[in-house]
Structure 1
Amino acid sequence: MLTAITGINWGDEGKGRMVDLLSEDYDIVVRYQGGNNAGHTVVNPKGKFILNLLPSGILRDDVVNVMGNGMVIDLEHLAGEIGRLRKAGVEVTPEHLKISDRAVICMPYHVMLDCLEEERLGDAKFGSTRRGIAPVYGDKYMKKALRMGELLHPERMAQRLKGILEWKNLTIEKVYGGQAAALQKMLDWLKKYGEPLKSYICDTGLYLDEAAKAGKNIMFEAQLGALRDIDFGIYPYTSSSSTIAAYAPVGAGIPNRKLDKTIGIMKAYSTCVGEGPFTAEMFGAEAEALRKAGGEYGAATGRPRRVGGFDVVASRYGVRMQGADELALTKMDVLSYLERIPVCTAYRVDGELTQAFPFTDALDEAQPVIEYLEGWGCDISGCRSKEELPAQALAYIAYIEAAVGCKVRYVSVGPAREQYVVL
């Protein structure tokens, strides 16, 4: 079974929590895109963890975790993440974690360029996490990036890096007026943080293909959501990688394989970190109440998330883009304080109603059409079966299913691993 776990909306839907839960039935968990620009928060008997680079299956002792070729990896950040897990008693070994030799290394100068460009943009900034993601993906497609496998060939890597820096420093110095990246300093950084990772680096595509042949269950973990996809998201306020399920076999290293199932993850309301159009956004006291109830602050950045009611238009689009076969609805318990639950059922664009998700430029002028559904007004965090959920909560779920055209299979009623209901 090859299953993708993907975000339906703007990211931060609770994918890490669902991967941690569902990985019990899988042999391998693969991250197939992105870098340390998003965080997956997982709460289980081992504690509370925020994972930026490592697959969320790393918290299960019997699951092999793979960092795929579609990822961009900050070695220093990865070293810190592994160190924090080990300090918490989580085992991380080459048998437990495998890193693609084709994954790209996110260098310190990528982070520097990310920060310099955001500062140059000023009020027109994209809302980057300033972790080098756009610059390193740009270098990947310019064929001027280093890959993890090059750590195994240090002399050749040093020669390539010398040529890359001659080119890269032209931009740093002449465009931004920054300080040039020194070759020796970059080589020292690569040695310090790359040397301990050498035993983890391998041909993960071959490993995954053989695992699939052997009938292993493989889960593909996405970062962010459909609306942050470089092609289909709210461009240019997107990530720099493909966040959709269709890319999972490619970013994992097995483009010859096809997915058996896609599980889409979405919150029972809407949240968004960063810049860009967010039609269903709430403001003022109403927004602050929802933000506090849901603890809506970015796992990677700590930034307050923008919040709003469930967005039918955006979610229906996300379900289609992800090809979702079933859905997990997270943070249902957060809405328990509301007597009436706001839902964005349509957009008004240029004076006309639409239920189709528009091009980004049209989104800038879109106005939400809000309707209200009856709340349930009681704590549902202890519910473990459909029968225990209040009638109003079941009605809310049924409404969402009909509105987005996909069945909800899992309902999260709290952050802990056991706090969920299977419908």
Structure 2
Amino acid sequence: MSDEKIVNGNHYEALREKRFNMYNAKVSVVLGAQWGDEGKGKVVDMLASNVDIVCRCQGGNNAGHTVVANGTEFDFHLLPSGIINEKCISVIGNGVVIHLPGLFDEIAKNEAKGLAKWENRLLISDRAHLVFDFHQQVDGLQEAEKGKKSLGTTKKGIGPAYSSKASRNGIRVGELLGDFNLFEEKFRSLVANYKRLFPGIEIDEEAELQRYKDYAEKLRPFVKDTICFLHTALRQDKTVLVEGANAAMLDIDFGTYPYVTSSNCSIGGVLTGLGLPPQAIGEVIGVVKAYTTRVGDGPFPTEQLNEIGDLLQTKGAEFGVTTKRKRRCGWLDLALLKYTSLVNGYTSIALTKLDILDTLKEINIGVAYKLNGKILDHFPGSISDLEKIEVEYVTLPGWESVTAKTRKFSDLPKNAQEYVRFIENELGIPVKWVGVGKGRESIVNIHQ
């Protein structure tokens, strides 16, 4: 009997080991660590040259990722930034909500800039939900209803589309490609629901149905079960890179609610948005801008409504890729980054736009929050508390010299190196890359 137990025990351990090694942490993840616009697209573009597959896992065309390749600036909203790499497969996962007119318009615009050979490298999940034009109308109407209490959404229909998904009357990509009569039935039911809720909404149902019949045929070559595709790829030792959209502080659960997006843009959204198990995740790269920005309304503890904020906004060309709105600007906030690191478990950091600080004589870094005179040991979950906090700053000397042409960390000015090391030591996370310009060539690998 004891021998049988040993045999069974060994069998169990062997199966467990085999199952664990099936994944062997082949998936790397790039996540925004602040309120978005950190430069994730550039980091993904850099890393995509060494991976087989790049995936988007959540959000929609409310995201805006800029990549500069060979002097050409590409803007991606739904397409994974890795699509520039002609050796790489790009996957739009089940957690993404897709506005088809926006997707095909984005493809056309980037083709005109030189995007080539993408047709055989784009896969779209049959489980991804569709964003319709009326979702975008509803987004605008809901924002208008809030008046001065609006959330500052992109009005891309993302929230209403996720609401349809959660209400179980949303429509998936696979349903568009199936029996069109069933798609039409669901479409008319969804339209009727919105007309009841928003009597003034204008929807030409017949024209939309014809348009989507045409879209179905354009879309068909790219659609498949991406969950099965990814798991097969991982078993074949393929490497996968996940491009998070939006950012941790815009996460619907962990962000500054309600001034957030409508999806989980933290590590959990990677798993549910692609159908991956936790053991498949290896490196989690937090992308951190060397200062802090946010678009739209909501609390912003280190915001600088002064000449510093103006300088960062102007020198950093801080305009939203999607909305074209000015970004609010302020000092780097390490209390915020410690919080998002708790949620996401960053294994390394890519620090971007260090060059924007080149002209400053002194640089402040927020290191802690005070509420009612007491240092907080956590990030406030209440907006009212967050609006009352005081930020404790540490002041570091600036470097007052140009860093844009630097390609080795050791060649950065001493004070710039100290700035990076201070961030690294305070967070307890290695800074692996430092960005000092727009192009992919301007990312300095600290460990080279």
TM-score of Structure 1 vs Structure 2, range by shorter chain: over 0.9
- 3-state SS, counterpart of residue 105 of structure 2: helix
1:174-253 aligned within 5 A: 178-253=200-275
What does residue 94 of structure 2 align with?
Answer: 69
Structure 2 residue aligned with 1:360 = 382
CA shift, 1:355, in A, is 5.0
Query: What's the counterpart of residue 83 of structure 1?
Result: 108
Q: Percent identity?
A: 36
1-side partners of 2:216 and 2:313: how far apart? Answer: 39
**Matched-pair contact (CA < 8 Å) for 1:280–1:368:** yes
Q: Is contact 1:151–1:198 with CA below 8 Å preserved after alignment?
A: no
Contact in 2 for aligned 1:249/1:258 (Cα 8 Å): no
| Residue 349 (structure 1) shift | 1.5
Please, which moves more after superposition, 52-61 or 86-95? 86-95
Distance in 2 separating the partners of 1:94 and 1:231: 36
**Which one has a bigger Cα radius of gyration?**
2
For residues 4-403 of structure 1, the aligned pairs below 5 Å read: 4-45=29-70, 47-153=72-178, 154-173=180-199, 178-255=200-277, 258-361=280-383, 362-403=385-426
Q: Retained in 2: the 8 A contact 1:347–1:353?
A: yes
Other structure's SS at 1:399 match: helix
CA distance in 2, matches of 1:384, 1:180: 54
* Secondary structure of 2:406 counterpart: coil
Deviations 1:314-372 (A, max 9, x none): 01111221110000000011110101011112222123232531113211212222331
Question: 1:257 offset after TM fit, Å?
Answer: 5.4
Which amino acid in structure 2 is aligned with residue 108 of structure 1? D
Following superposition, the deviation at residue 93 of structure 1 comes to: 4.0
SS of 1:48 mapped into structure 2: strand
Q: Could you say what secondary structure the match of 2:245 adopts?
A: strand
Three-state SS of the structure 2 residue aligned to 1:99 is strand
User: 1:126 is aligned with what amino acid?
Assistant: L
Shift of 1:270: 0.5
- Deviations 1:183-234 (CA, angstroms, capped at 9, x unpaired): 3132123234343111111111111110010000100100111111111111
Cα distance, 1:2 vs. partner? Answer: 0.6
1:367-401 alpha-carbon deviations (Å, 9 max, x no partner): 22233111111111111112111111111111101
State the 1:95 CA deviation: 1.9
Q: Following the alignment from structure 1 to structure 2, what is the Cα–Cα distance between the partners of residues 419 and 99?
A: 32
Report the secondary structure of 1:25's partner residue.
coil
Looking at structure 2, the residues matched to 313 and 256 of structure 1 have their Cα atoms a distance apart, in angstroms, of 26
Q: Classify 1:184/1:46 alpha carbon distance in 2 versus 1 (closer, same or farther; 3 Å).
A: farther
Deviation of 1:247 (Å): 2.4
Tell me by how many angstroms 1:409 deviates.
0.5
Measure how far apart 1:256 and its partner are: 7.1
Change (3 A) 1:256 1:213: farther
Contact 2:137 2:201 in 1 (8 A): no
Cα root mean square deviation, aligned = 1.4
Note the C-alpha offset of 1:151: 1.9
Q: Which moved more, 1:186-195 or 1:199-208?
A: 186-195
Decide which moves more: 120-129 or 42-51: 42-51
Following the alignment from structure 1 to structure 2, what is the Cα–Cα distance between the partners of residues 46 and 23?
A: 18
Name the SS of the counterpart of 1:85 in structure 2: helix
Runs (5+) with no aligned partner, structure 2: 1-25
Look up the equivalent residue of 1:60 and give its one-letter code.
N
Contact 2:304 2:330 (C-alpha < 8 Å) held by counterparts: yes
Partner Cα distance (2:375, 2:71) in 1: 49
The SS at the match of 1:373 is strand
Amino acid at match of 2:88: V
Q: Residue 395 of structure 2: SS of its match in structure 1?
A: strand
1:92, CA displacement in angstroms? 4.9
Deviations 1:42-67 (A, max 9, x none): 10116101111100001111110000
Which has the larger displacement, 36-45 or 178-187? 178-187
Q: For 2:402 and 2:104, locate their aligned partners in 1 and report how far apart those are by CA, in whole Å.
A: 40
* Structure-1 separation of matches of 2:391 and 2:71: 42
1:115 aligned partner, one-letter code: G
Aligned residues: 419
Which amino acid is 1:235 matched to?
A: Y
User: What is the aligned partner in structure 2 of residue 404 from structure 1?
Assistant: 427
Letter of the 1:6 partner, please give it: L
Give the Cα separation in 2 of the matches to 1:280 and 1:400: 16
CA distance, structure 2, for counterparts of residue 257 and residue 149 of structure 1: 28
Do the aligned residues in 2 keep the contact of 1:343 with 1:371 (CA within 8 Å)? yes
Cα shift at 1:402: 1.6
